[in-house]
Amino acid sequence: MTSATENKPLSGITVVDLTRVLAGPYCTMLLADLGARIIKVEDPKGGDDSRHIGPFVDGESVYFASINRNKESIALDLKDERGRAEFEQLLSKADVLIENFRPGVMDRLGYGWNDLCAKYPRLIYASISGFGQTGPLKGRPAYDMVVQAMGGLMSVTGEPGGRPVRVGVSVGDISAGLYAAIGVQAALLKRARLGKGDHLDISMLDCQVALMENPIARYSATGELPRPLGARHSSITPFDVFSVADGFIVLAVGNDSLFKKLCVALERPEWAEDERFALLEARNRNHELLKQYLESRLQSGTKQAWADIFQSHGVPHGTLNGVDDLFASEQVEAREMIVPMPIGKAGEIKVASNPVKLDSMARSCGVGRAPRLDEHRESILREFCAPALDIK
Amino acid sequence: MTSATENKPLSGITVVDLTRVLAGPYCTMLLADLGARIIKVEDPKGGDDSRHIGPFVDGESVYFASINRNKESIALDLKDERGRAEFEQLLSKADVLIENFRPGVMDRLGYGWNDLCAKYPRLIYASISGFGQTGPLKGRPAYDMVVQAMGGLMSVTGEPGGRPVRVGVSVGDISAGLYAAIGVQAALLKRARLGKGDHLDISMLDCQVALMENPIARYSATGELPRPLGARHSSITPFDVFSVADGFIVLAVGNDSLFKKLCVALERPEWAEDERFALLEARNRNHELLKQYLESRLQSGTKQAWADIFQSHGVPHGTLNGVDDLFASEQVEAREMIVPMPIGKAGEIKVASNPVKLDSMARSCGVGRAPRLDEHRESILREFCAPALDIK
């Protein structure tokens, strides 16, 4: 263990990781970035399904690599006597077990919470599933888009009157990974105080409902069903996306005095005196007309030209960045948020790094290569298994 | 302290909370739900800005109430000698300080990390800001939509060829709150081991970049710029939203054998033999045509009728739920994910509860009323301040 590793906040925590594809692996990636040791236990027949999802570099899945950095891999057959014995050796020294099988699978393997909590009383056992371990839908399979749809998020995302759209990243999975990481750490803090393990039951659908906190509270108070608004704010104008000569910009003009600054920046100071636009309430009422005025003016300049003008006039704005713009952003670079990672034989890709930036850690967290299937078998078994098991 | 409180994982942790509006308060709500004590320190002139955002019930903001449950409030003027003395008394017994001012504000108050770390060596100090404490954009104000735009999320969300849309909830703020809660807990675990505090620097933009892990890795490997796809999956068909008689459903048909089941369920078994659709690769090529076929057939039934049919045929599907559907969902009810909360004089609204479900806690976490401004002044000062301060 290097001093850099010791310094990481979760150093010394060992996680046995049975998870596949996205929600679970995203959770254990977060824990790994913070210094936990992740022992990824994979099915000997091909390992984590995401190893087979393209694109590939030197035969290695980019999808898999990006979220399985900083982990070790061992392939164990949990239906085979020897695989089970080895798995139980891992559990006996682990702090946390995380799995994202469908509810019931772990019980059938003899590794449900009720089986393990008596034998390993300090073990924290986290289950991540589509709908949770309880309720009428508990057995249903889930996909990211299914929970985005069922949890209500798609019903508030898209153009007004248009078709619902999916959020362009897998927030159904990723949010479950985030809440699971919070729950695992909470259980670790409780164990530090009381000495006992706990069981965590994370449902992707629950997590979508949690993200909907504002639409839920508003609907409850007003009875008005929240609907998609494109990019527009429901009660502030102009607070929207606007097209310019070479793409889109965002304006976030929260009050009348900022609106005056905007009109000056656009060299259209008369708009701020126009009774259709001068006050917030009027702007909200005439938001479609104002958007036409603004976009006809904005067509004359580029993203960068308008950004410079708005910056110098103190008008809150943002450029609509594509992924290529993120790679070129000085702010993203200064924060070390996109960093190189080895892949394949001698390849390299760039991946998003860790946004949990503690002063005591390197900013990028250090992004190691994702493991090959079963890559760490020998070193893990040597460390965890009693000599009696005869590992060679 | 009741036994229910003792049982919560973060029981015994005291957080001094200077945050306003959304990212910070969402973080401290998560910590409060898990049992931390949150002392919300507010500006005496009106308190947290979100207290003034509608809709209101009995004059209380629903927006504020929904994310400030289970917290205490005290109003302190941090530019006044007495307010500063009281604030420092709080800090001397706190485990965590969380703030989301613009970078530089806390330094000017004399409460930057460098000011406090020597005096309170066990204090964990978390800063949440739009762009982080470092980098060329660090001083810029941020709004949810600005970071959704600048972080790339809007560039992958929307209809193909259409205008970019904002995700319908404030994921710019909420994700920062989630990563911050992870960072605070990690620092608490480290402190339990090494006895020292730490500084956490969370940037909303960094968190958006972290959510973009898959588009970033794919772009890096292939050079193809990720773009919005509506609700369609980029390499699986049919995996999309489809319109039915009374709304929309989602189909998530991942392989050829599931496609056969779908065609049987639709009473169109011949489509599974059609060379334009039989194999995944052909379906991907002909996805627009297949969507026309599917939607013309699906128009004949309702969401519920099709859901029953797909369920009995084992076809992965989901209904596109609005917020009203969440209130009626048996699964959401079984998981206690939407629960009542007192507001105003004798009012009640329903809010999203805690998705971090530990077996040792009540499922809903217990949702207490949000505090009135300065409601807990006396009890807090009595507990934290030395008698010499003469609190009456």
3-state secondary structure chain B: CCHHHHCCCCCCCEEEECCCCCHHHHHHHHHHHCCCEEEEEECCCCCCHHHHCCCEECCEEHHHHHHCCCEEEEECCCCCHHHHHHHHHHHHHCCEEEECCCCCHHHHCCCCHHHHHHHCCCCEEEEEECCCCCCCCCCCCCCHHHHHHHCCHHHHCCCCCCCCCCCCCCHHHHHHHHHHHHHHHHHHHHHHHHCCCEEEEEEHHHHHHHHCHHHHHHHHHHCCCCCCCCCCCCCCCCEEEEEECCEEEEEECCCHHHHHHHHHHCCCHHHHCCCCCCCHHHHHHCHHHHHHHHHHHHCCCCHHHHHHHHHHHCCCEEECCCHHHHHHCHHHHHCCCEEEEEECCCEEEEEECCCCEECCCCCCCCCCCCCCCCCCHHHHHHHHCCHHHCCC
Which of B169, B191, B212 is most worth mutating to test chain A (most A CB atoms within 10 A of its CB)? B169
Contact present, B238 and B283 (Cβ < 8 Å): yes
CATH code of residue B92? 3.40.50.10540
Cis bond leading into B9, ω under 30°?
no
Token pair 């002392």: residue: B39
Pick the closest to residue B377 from B41, B36, B15, B25 (CA basis).
B41
Q: Is A13 on the interface with B (CB under 8 A)?
A: yes
Point out the residue among B30, B210, B231 whose CB comes nearest to the CB of A166: B231
Q: Is the same domain home to A208 and A118?
A: yes
**Residue A129, helix vs strand vs coil:** strand
Give how far the C-alpha of residue B152 lies from the chain's centroid of Cα atoms, to the nearest Å.
18
Chain B CB contacts of A23 below 8 Å: none
Inform me whether the pLDDT recorded for B336 exceeds 50: yes
Inform me whether the pLDDT recorded for B3 exceeds 50: no
ipTM (interface pTM): 0.95
B376 in active site: no
Asked whether the beta carbons of residue A163 and residue B352 sit closer than 8 angstroms, the reply is no
Q: Is the same domain home to B203 and B344?
A: yes
Per DSSP, helices labelled H in chain A are 3-6, 23-33, 62-67, 81-93, 105-108, 113-119, 144-150, 171-194, 204-211, 213-222, 256-265, 280-285, 287-298, 303-313, 323-328, 330-334, 377-384
Q: Name which of A127-131, A232-236, B4-8, B189-193 the model is least confident about.
A: B4-8
CA–CA gap between residue B216 and residue B218 (Å, rounded) = 6
Q: Name which of A224-233, B5-14, B111-120, B344-353 the model is least confident about.
A: B5-14
Q: Is A362 on the interface with B (CB under 8 A)?
A: no
Inform me whether the pLDDT recorded for B387 exceeds 70: no
Contact present, B135 and B171 (Cβ < 8 Å): no
Pick the closest to residue B96 from B202, B174, B13 (CA basis).
B13
CA–CA gap between residue B359 and residue B220 (Å, rounded) = 42
Which of A190, A208, A330 is most worth mutating to test chain B (most B CB atoms within 10 A of its CB)? A190
Q: Is the same domain home to B269 and B294?
A: yes
Q: Is the same domain home to B189 and B90?
A: yes
CA–CA gap between residue A95 and residue B57 (Å, rounded) = 46
How do residues B157-187 score in pLDDT, each as one tens digit? 999 988 899 999 999 999 999 999 999 999 9
Q: Is residue A129 part of a domain?
A: yes
What is the span of the domain harbouring residue B307? Answer: 239-321
Q: Is residue A220 part of a domain?
A: no
Q: Is the same domain home to B315 and B347?
A: no
Cβ-Cβ contacts under 8 Å for B331 (sequence gap 6 or more): A131, A132, A135, A136, A137, A205
Q: Is B288 on the interface with A (CB under 8 A)?
A: no
What tokens does A225 get? 């069903």
Of the residues A199, A233, A313, A317, which is catalytic? A233
Domain count, chain B: 2
CA angle B179–B184–B187, rounded 5-degree value: 125
CA–CA gap between residue A20 and residue A50 (Å, rounded) = 7
What tokens does B327 get? 């209130």
Q: Give the rounded percent of residues in chain B with a pLDDT score beyond 90.
A: 88
Q: Is residue A98 part of a domain?
A: yes
Q: Is residue A288 part of a domain?
A: yes
Pick the closest to residue B326 from A175, A163, A226, A85 (CA basis).
A226
Q: How far is B270 from chain A (nearest CA, A)?
A: 27
Inform me whether the pLDDT recorded for B375 exceeds 60: yes
CA–CA gap between residue B123 and residue B188 (Å, rounded) = 9
Pick the closest to residue A49 from A15, A9, A21 (CA basis).
A21
Point out the residue among A155, A217, A353 whose CB comes nearest to the CB of B62: A217
pLDDT less than 50: residues of chain A: 1-3, 389, 391-392
Instruction: State residue B2's pLDDT score.
Output: 43
How do residues A37-92 score in pLDDT, each as one tens digit? 999 999 999 999 999 988 999 999 999 999 999 999 999 999 999 999 999 999 99
Q: Is the same domain home to B268 and B207?
A: no
Look at residues B321, B354, B370 and tell me which one is the last residue of a structural domain. B321
Contact present, B141 and B102 (Cβ < 8 Å): yes
Instruction: State residue A387's pLDDT score.
Output: 61
Biggest CA-to-CA distance, chain A: 87
Instruction: State residue A391's pLDDT score.
Output: 45
Chain A CB contacts of B349 below 8 Å: 217, 220-221
Asked whether the beta carbons of residue A62 and residue B218 sit closer than 8 angstroms, the reply is yes
Please tell me the pTM assigned to this model: 0.95
Point out the residue among A162, A321, A350 whose CB comes nearest to the CB of B149: A321
Inform me whether the pLDDT recorded for B373 exceeds 50: yes
Q: Is residue A273 part of a domain?
A: yes
- pLDDT class of B392 with cuts at 50, 70, 90: very low
- Whole-angstrom CA distances from B160 to A268, B227, B234 are 33, 7, 11
Q: Is residue B357 part of a domain?
A: yes
Cβ-Cβ contacts under 8 Å for A267 (sequence gap 6 or more): none
Instruction: State residue A6's pLDDT score.
Output: 63
Sheet with B14-17: strands ordered across: A357-358, B198-203, B124-129, B96-99, B14-17, B37-42, B71-75
CA–CA gap between residue B373 and residue B125 (Å, rounded) = 24
Q: How far is B94 from chain A (nearest CA, A)?
A: 16
**Residue A288, helix vs strand vs coil:** helix
Q: Is the same domain home to B182 and B269?
A: no
* Average per-residue pLDDT for chain B: 94
CA–CA gap between residue A299 and residue B263 (Å, rounded) = 48
Instruction: State residue A249's pLDDT score.
Output: 94
Look at residues B321, B347, B369 and tell me which one is the last residue of a structural domain. B321
| Number of residues that this document lists for chain B | 392
CA–CA gap between residue A20 and residue A16 (Å, rounded) = 13
Contact present, B319 and B307 (Cβ < 8 Å): yes
Q: Give the rounded percent of residues in chain B with a pLDDT score beyond 70.
A: 97
| Number of residues that this document lists for chain A | 392
Please tell me what DSSP assigns to residue A239. Answer: E
Contact present, A185 and A34 (Cβ < 8 Å): no
Instruction: State residue B201's pLDDT score.
Output: 98
Q: Is the same domain home to A244 and A298?
A: yes
Cis bond leading into A387, ω under 30°?
no
What tokens does A22 get? 């996205």
Contact present, A127 and A27 (Cβ < 8 Å): no
Give how far the C-alpha of residue B175 lies from the chain's centroid of Cα atoms, to the nearest Å.
5
Average pLDDT (B88-98) is 97
Q: Is residue B131 part of a domain?
A: yes
Binding-face residues of B in 180-219 toward A, CB within 8 A: 181-183, 185-190, 192-193, 198-203, 205-207, 209-219
Which H or E element spans position A241? strand A239-244
- pLDDT class of B388 with cuts at 50, 70, 90: low
What tokens does A245 get? 């000569």
Q: Is the same domain home to A156 and A131?
A: yes
CA–CA gap between residue B34 and residue A193 (Å, rounded) = 14
Asked whether the beta carbons of residue B200 and residue A337 sit closer than 8 angstroms, the reply is no
Q: Is A220 on the interface with B (CB under 8 A)?
A: yes
Q: Is the same domain home to B109 and B251?
A: no
Q: Is the same domain home to A281 and A148?
A: no
Q: Is the same domain home to B37 and B157?
A: yes
Contact present, B272 and A167 (Cβ < 8 Å): no
How do residues B288-315 score in pLDDT, each as one tens digit? 999 999 999 999 999 999 999 999 999 9
Average pLDDT (B365-384) is 93
Instruction: State residue B391's pLDDT score.
Output: 45
CA–CA gap between residue B345 and residue A204 (Å, rounded) = 35
Q: How far is A283 from chain B (nearest CA, A)?
A: 18
Look at residues A264, A289, A321 and tell me which one is the last residue of a structural domain. A321
CA angle B359–B365–B368, rounded 5-degree value: 165
Q: Rounding to the nearest 10 degrees, give the CA dihedral for residues A211, A213, A215, A221.
A: 170
Please tell me what DSSP assigns to residue A53. Answer: S
Q: Is residue A328 part of a domain?
A: no
Contact present, B61 and A222 (Cβ < 8 Å): no
CATH code of residue A311? 3.30.1540.10
- pLDDT class of B250 with cuts at 50, 70, 90: very high
